[in-house]
Amino acid sequence: MKFKEHTRQVRDKVIEKFKAGLGYKKISKALNIPRSTVQAIIQKWKEYGTTVNLPRQGRPPKLTGRTRRALIRNAAKRPMVTLDELQRSTAQVGESVHRTTISRALHKVGLYGRVARRKPLLTENHKKSRLQFATSHVGDTANMWKKVLWSDETKMELFGQNAKRYVWRKTNTAHHSEHTIPTVKYGGGSIMLWGCFSSAGTGKLVRVDGKMDGAKYRAILEENLLESAKDLRLGRRFTFQQDNDPKHIHVLEWPSQSPDLNPIKNLWQDLKTAVNTVHLI
């Protein structure tokens, strides 16, 4: 049963009269407050020695400390575990809670659901090559890069293959290996495209029929490379960059499995996003 809460001044007067020897009934009549309220104030004073408001207990947590710690360990060890899986694990120990409750528990320790980055599967040799490449170009000027014609191939997957996967991770850990999805070149049949671009704009876009090999790649370059450079007004002294794929003839040194170093990857992503948007409409 809840009682009307009185001011600290009224509560102090109750205790003052109680210390003076007055009983509950007389205090109630003197201060014009219910006898039950007088009794509650005095009992609280006897138990805690004060008339100030004590901290209220509030709503009990929906998750026990043990279950909450288990959830955090699970998400930290298995970053790609889903909320549904975590929800089932809590139900198995008799604590059925909503998905938002689980999310809040993970957010409190800095774990947030983020889209897993797709990252090339790198060997130690790949990493060394990337470092050597970066070191060799650290002094290049912006004007030099403006003369580069970037090229690459991409596989256009129209339905489902590029689906996003979420992981539980802390801030600034997006590229940790356990938070990424390893990728390898050309994992299956789909529409294959070759394209190029420079700082001046986009060059030719070519659909590749069948499997790309050295002969087909040379034919694409012969038919599209110089024409693209001409359309983009790069002049005769432009630099051609190509992926260091084993089937290609080397023109410039380029570290394998390094799509993130090639800005055309951002252009491919824009194209794929546009294609997926069309299919969703």
Confidence band for 250, pLDDT divided at 50, 70 and 90: very low
**Nearest Cα to Cα of residue 238 among 250, 249, 248, 252:** 252
pLDDT of residue 185 exceeding 70, the answer is: no
E strands, 92-227, where? Answer: 112-115, 117-120, 148-156, 166-169, 180-183, 191-198, 201-208
Residue 248 has pLDDT above 50, yes or no: no
Q: Locate the domains of the chain by residue range.
A: 8-48, 65-110, 123-163+185-280
| CA 180, 182, 185, 190 torsion-angle sign | negative
Asked whether residue 280 carries a pLDDT value surpassing 50, the answer given is no
Are the C-beta atoms of residues 225 and 192 closer than 8 Å to each other?
no
* 78 SS3 class: coil
pLDDT of residue 25: 92
* Per-residue pLDDT at 253: 65
* pLDDT (0 to 100) of residue 1: 42
What pLDDT does 231 receive?
93
Overall CATH class of domain 123-163+185-280: alpha beta
Among 4-13, 166-175, 252-261, which stretch is predicted with the lowest mean pLDDT? 252-261
Segment 109-137 mean pLDDT: 85
Contact criterion met (CB below 8 Å) for 68 and 24? no
> Beta strands 191-198 and 201-208: pairing type?
antiparallel
Q: What is the mean pLDDT of residues 56-65?
A: 73
Model confidence band, residue 210 (pLDDT cutoffs 50, 70, 90): confident
189: pLDDT confidence band, cut at 50, 70 and 90? Answer: very low
Quickly name the fold that domain 8-48 has: Arc Repressor Mutant, subunit A (1.10.10)
Across all residues in the chain, what is the average pLDDT?
81
pLDDT, residue 5, reads 65
Mean pLDDT of 182-198: 71
pLDDT at 228: 92
Grade residue 188 by pLDDT with cuts at 50, 70 and 90: very low
Model confidence at 7, pLDDT cuts 50, 70, 90, reads confident
Q: What is the pLDDT of residues 212-222, one digit of tens each?
A: 888 898 899 88
pTM for this model (two decimals): 0.47
In tens, the pLDDT along 133-172 reads 889 889 889 988 898 899 888 887 655 445 566 677 788 7
Strand partners, 169: 112
For residue 114, pLDDT beyond 80: yes
Please list the residues that pair with 120 across neighbouring strands.
183
pLDDT band at residue 252, thresholds of 50, 70 and 90? low
